[in-house]
Amino acid sequence: METFKLTVNGQVKEVTADPGTPLLWVLREDLKMTGTKYGCGIAACGACTVHLGGVPTRSCVVPVALVRNRPILTIEAMADDPVGRVVQDVWVSEDVVQCGYCQSGQIMSAVALLKSTPKPTDKDIEESMGGNLCRCGTYVRIRQAIKTSARQLG
């Protein structure tokens, strides 16, 4: 067990955990931030996506010890993020979600995409969103919602 200082959504948090514990479980169980989801644990679904130092990252395969001083942004901070807020609003107005379980990860990936590529093409969308699984099959609406968000942010 070791103690780590993490900057999560702008706040410094201290956690004591086994250094190998994936960031996902530290967020969910130690910090009680359950918006970040567990789907596979092997970086195959994107449900656990957070921004680590600004980069969309699968938190299920990042040991907490490797986070170091990189800031962490989770879905819980998206309402206060200028891009995140637009994406969330569009997601709601276009009725994207079904079960919703994958959507934290989808939104985190979409926000990262729109920050790096404000006018994404279909190909950009497929590449950036390509690892985010949605078992309910909301892909058509996600694709559309990203385009709408890009327009609104434009």
Partner 1 sequence: MSTATTSHPPSVSRRTFLRVSSAAAGGLLVSLYLDWPTIAQQPATPKVYPPDAFVHVRPDGKIVVQVNRLEFGQGVQTALPMLLADEMDADWLQVIAELAPAGDVYRDPVYGIQMVGGSGSIAHSFEQYRQLGARTRAMLIAAAAAQWKVTPTQCRAESSVVYGPNGQSARYAELAEAAAHLPVPENIQLKKESDLRLTNKEVRRLDSGAKCNGSQKFGLDVDLPGMKVALVAHPPVFGAKVKGFDANAARAISGVQEVFEIPLVRGTGVAIVADRFWAAKQARDRLRAEWDTASVERPDTAQLFAKYRELARTPGNVAVSRANANAMDSISPANRILAEYEFPYLAHTPMEPLNTTVRFDGDRAEVWGGSQFQTVDRMAIAEVLGLKPEQVTFHTEMAGGGFGRRATPDSHVQREAATVAKRLRGIPVKLIWTREDDVQGGYYRPMHVHRVEVGIGGDGMPAAWRHVIVGQSILAGTPFAPMMVKNGVDSTAVEGTADTKYNIPNFHISAHHPAINVPVLWWRSVGHTHNAFVMETLIDELARRAKADPIAYRLKLLSPDAKKLRNCLALLQGKTASWRSLPRNHAVGIACHESFETGVACAVEVSIEDKRPRIHRATITVDPGFAVNPLTIASQMQGGVTFGITQVMSRGAITLKDGRVEQRNWDGYTPPYMKDAPVIAQVHIVPSSEKPSGCGEPPVPVISPAVVNALSRLTGKRYRTLPLTEI
CB of 121 to partner 1, least distance (A): 12
Residue type, 150: A
Stretch that binds partner 1, among 51-59, 65-73, 112-120, 128-136 (CB under 8 A): 128-136
Under the binding rule (CB under 8 A), the answer on residue 137 touching partner 1 is yes
Pick the binder of ligand FES from 103, 104, 109, 148 (CB under 6 A). 103
Closest CA to 78 of 108, 36, 33: 108
Compute φ and ψ for 111, nearest 5 degrees.
Answer: -65, -45
Tokens read off for 71: 């800031």
| Whole-angstrom distance, CA of residue 70 vs CA of residue 87 | 24
Q: Is the CB of residue 58 less than 8 Å from the CB of residue 108?
A: no
Q: Which two tokens stand for residue 90?
A: 């569009």
Where along the sequence are the contacts to ligand FES (CB under 6 A)? Answer: 38-41, 43-48, 58, 60, 97-103, 134-136, 138
Where along the sequence are the contacts to partner 1 (CB under 8 A)? Answer: 1, 17-18, 20-22, 25, 28-30, 32-42, 44-45, 47, 74-76, 78-79, 88, 91-93, 95-104, 107, 122, 125-126, 129-143
